[in-house]
């Protein structure tokens, strides 16, 4: 596999030539060359661009195209950090705070069917286990995705209390990240983990690339589920019984581009092996748009549902343009966002599949396909708990409490 690029080092202004490529090639901002150069000079002089501060989704595409390797995304994260320290978050962001007692994930978990609630209760086990599948927050709200022989033999361990902190990092809540890192270090030491399989690309990036920069050390191997599945397919441990004979377009995870082209090839290899033809979107791979959730990451947006919906609709529109039969994702967060988006976006009713579901179909299993039902619960939670906060002038500050394991 290609080496994971380090995107947590500071923005290096001494190397920046103010060429503007980072902003010109940004798939979200799409600035003209002259506008990009002007905005880059403003940023370097300390002048905060309202457009960038509001619309950036920290998808890290700018880091990939910067010819000097300056890590421009970190400059924006630092600006958000300063804004958060000064003013906190809009109150509406509270509903997306993983450590707030009522958030969009706890709302869903509290309404899971009995069998799924029983699953995630079992995952809270803290007895020693050398090899685990760490589900991540998004899978915890969709535990049905793990009910497949593809994951047979893996012990699943984790809970919402041991979130990886990706939400805080991408919003620039750097002070809180130290608390999250310390919490996770104690948790995994108690488990005695030696190898972690992780279905979340964001989580893989956090454990291998981000969290160690906050003073913690994890003495275990971190493997994303896609290369793990592909290796099992190559060794004949996963037997394909039926070719699916369909076309899909791939919603790239924001972190897929960080892991490099070799990594982004893997979901496409898996799909090709099971008889699925990939039709690429106009903006794909390293230039892919976020599924939508990052439309709310900026401090100014503070998870405003209109900003999130705008980005989700853009992604659904690009997928529709391909003419593919369905959308394939390898991030449970993307699965949820695109399915929720379809509740409000009437122009794209393409089925959205997690790659695990397509693999299940290819080995002769019938996936649960609870995606739409779960999306309705997520949407209802936003209407009930976030909508009343939209016009509040109060501010929210994160409180990462210390937990005993």
Interacting residues of 262 by C-beta distance below 8 A, sequence separation 6+:
1, 2
In a domain, 212, yes or no: yes
Contact 108, 378 (CB under 8 A): yes
Residues 245 and 304 in one domain: yes
Q: Please tell me the pTM assigned to this model.
A: 0.90
pLDDT at 310 over 80: yes
Contact 177, 203 (CB under 8 A): no
CA distance 374 to 369: 10
How many other C-beta atoms are found inside a 10 Å radius of the C-beta of residue 286? Answer: 19
In a domain, 83, yes or no: no
Contact 74, 13 (CB under 8 A): no
Residues 292 and 353 in one domain: yes
pLDDT in tens, 322-351: 999 999 999 999 999 999 999 999 888 999
**Domain residue limits at 56:** 21-75
Mark which of 36, 51, 75 sits at the end of a domain: 75
Residues 204 and 284 in one domain: no
Interacting residues of 162 by C-beta distance below 8 A, sequence separation 6+:
183, 184, 187
pLDDT in tens, 368-377: 999 999 999 9
Q: Residue 213 has what pLDDT?
A: 87
| Among 378, 366, 300, 365, residue whose Cα is nearest residue 338 | 378
Residue 193 tokens read as 């983990």
Least confidently predicted of 46-50, 93-97, 355-359: 46-50
Q: Residue 300 has what pLDDT?
A: 80
The mean pLDDT of 36-53, rounded to a whole number, is 87
In a domain, 15, yes or no: no
CA distance 240 to 106: 36
Residue 1 tokens read as 């596999």
Q: How many domains does the chain have?
A: 3
Residues 320 and 279 in one domain: yes
Q: How far apart are the first and last CA of the chain?
A: 34
Residues 384 and 315 in one domain: yes
The mean pLDDT of 231-252, rounded to a whole number, is 96
In a domain, 397, yes or no: no
CATH number at residue 272: 3.40.50
Residues 374 and 282 in one domain: yes
């Amino acid at each position: 596999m290609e080496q994971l690029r380090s995107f947590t080092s500071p923005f290096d202004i001494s190397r920046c030539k103010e060429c503007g490529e980072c902003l010109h090639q940004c798939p979200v901002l799409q600035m003209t060359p002259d506008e990009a150069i002007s905005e880059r000079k403003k940023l370097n002089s300390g002048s905060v661009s309202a457009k960038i501060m509001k619309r950036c989704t920290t998808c890290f595409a700018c880091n990939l195209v910067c010819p000097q390797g300056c890590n421009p995304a970190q400059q924006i994260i630092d600006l958000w950090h300063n804004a958060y320290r000064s003013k906190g978050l809009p109150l509406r962001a509270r509903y997306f705070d993983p450590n707030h007692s009522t958030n969009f994930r706890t709302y869903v978990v509290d309404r899971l069917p009995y069998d799924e609630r029983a699953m995630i209760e079992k995952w809270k086990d803290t007895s020693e286990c050398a090899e685990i599948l760490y589900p991540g927050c998004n899978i915890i709200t969709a535990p049905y995705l793990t009910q497949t022989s593809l994951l047979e033999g893996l012990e699943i361990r984790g809970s919402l209390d041991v979130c990886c902190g990706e939400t805080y990092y991408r919003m620039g809540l750097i002070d809180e990240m130290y608390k999250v890192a310390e919490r996770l270090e104690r948790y995994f030491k108690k488990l005695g983990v030696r190898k972690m399989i992780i279905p979340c690309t964001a989580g893989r990036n956090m454990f291998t690339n981000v969290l160690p920069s906050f003073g913690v050390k994890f003495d275990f191997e971190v493997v994303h589920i896609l290369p793990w599945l592909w290796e099992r397919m190559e060794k004949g441990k996963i037997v394909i019984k039926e070719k699916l004979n369909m076309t899909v377009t791939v919603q790239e995870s924001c972190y897929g581009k960080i892991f490099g082209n070799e990594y982004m090839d893997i979901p496409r290899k898996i799909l090709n092996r099971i008889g699925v033809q990939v039709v690429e979107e106009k903006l794909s791979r390293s230039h892919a748009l976020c599924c939508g959730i990052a439309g709310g990451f900026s401090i100014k947006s503070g998870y405003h549902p209109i900003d999130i919906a705008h980005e989700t609709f853009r992604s659904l529109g690009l997928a529709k343009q391909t003419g593919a039969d369905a959308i394939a994702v390898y991030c449970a967060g993307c699965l949820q966002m695109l399915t929720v988006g379809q509740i409000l976006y009437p122009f794209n009713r393409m089925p959205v599949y997690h790659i695990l579901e397509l693999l299940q179909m290819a080995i002769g299993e019938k996936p649960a396909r609870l995606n739409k039902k779960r999306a309705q619960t997520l949407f209802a939670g936003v209407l009930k708990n976030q909508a009343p906060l939209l016009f509040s002038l109060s501010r929210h500050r994160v409180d990462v409490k210390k937990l005993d394991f």
